[in-house]
Amino acid sequence: MAGVSDRPFRMLCRQLGAGLTTSEMVSADPELRETRKTRLRLDHQGELSPVSVQIAGADPALLAEAARRNVECGAEIIDINMGCPAKKVCNVLAGSALLRDEALVSRILAAVVGAVAVPVSLKIRTGWDTSLRNGVRIARLAERCGIQALAVHGRTRADGFTGPAEYDTIAAIKAAVGIPVIANGDVDSPDKAAAVQAATGADAIMIGRAAQGRPWLLTQVEAFLARGERLPEPDLGSIGQLLLRHLDALYDFYGEAQGVRVARKHIRWYCASHPGSAAFWARVSRTEASREQRRIVDAFFSAPAADGMARPCTA
């Protein structure tokens, strides 16, 4: 979720019912330590506890040092990324590329767990590809190394985000270890969340892409899993107020120019399938001023439907 799960989005998700959010991936490369991007990713001001920070890399010593540095900056959980399928990450043998080298995985986990006093969690996929679906072995190894929770995206690295998620593999991983297992992959509704939890036996559900432009999904899933309560889709006006709150947080966090640029993708996600969104997007994508961007968004979400009915906007 690099470029998405920044501090403003994490704080919004926690407010809407997420039990835990994890930071954007922070590289262990010391040469990137003082960049503006990294500094922003280390900013946890105002976040609810526990603060979870995800680190990525392939060198055990550098990852251990990155874990220590992030704890000094406020991290209360360190999460290690061994699930990212992006080529630029895998090409430097980080992310899910690490799943091909179980000995290196063991050294990394032992180094990071030994470096910090806070809990360390791990995010993986079910394997590198269908010929190396080693999620169960990695999970057992992680437990032996002291990892305290494991999130599993139910696909191999080769699958990317296509094809059905392997909930049976997640179930096998859950059965193989005693630490909490978090199921991830294609959870886009309260019913799907309940079905995935039942199919996998997972201790928790992780939602990623489905919350982009639809963060109220977290409220709906939490209500359904906790109380069996079905919450309706919000009307257009309610979505508009939520988006404006999100935009204000982005402007405050990034500043005027970058805040407007970062906001564009979120605006597009919030309105992707709404009638009239193409013309609206053509207008809002051209503005460089936060006040004008905000005004256009407010006008779009405040406009009454032609039939006088409230209009849902789903992404």
For residue 99, give the DSSP letter: G
Count CB atoms within 10 A of the CB of residue 130: 10
Count CB atoms within 10 A of the CB of residue 228: 9
Query: Of the candidates 234, 237, 182, 187, which has an alpha carbon nearest to the alpha carbon of residue 208?
Result: 187
Residue 217: both structure tokens together: 């999904």
Distances in whole angstroms, Cα of residue 218 to Cα of each of 98, 188, 214, 225? 31, 10, 8, 11
- Residue 272's SS3 state is coil
Residue 308's Cβ-side half-sphere holds a number of Cα atoms within 13 Å equal to 0
- Which of the residues 13, 73, 84, 271 is marked catalytic? 84
Count CB atoms within 10 A of the CB of residue 26: 27
Known catalytic membership, residue 84: yes
> Active-site residue numbers?
84
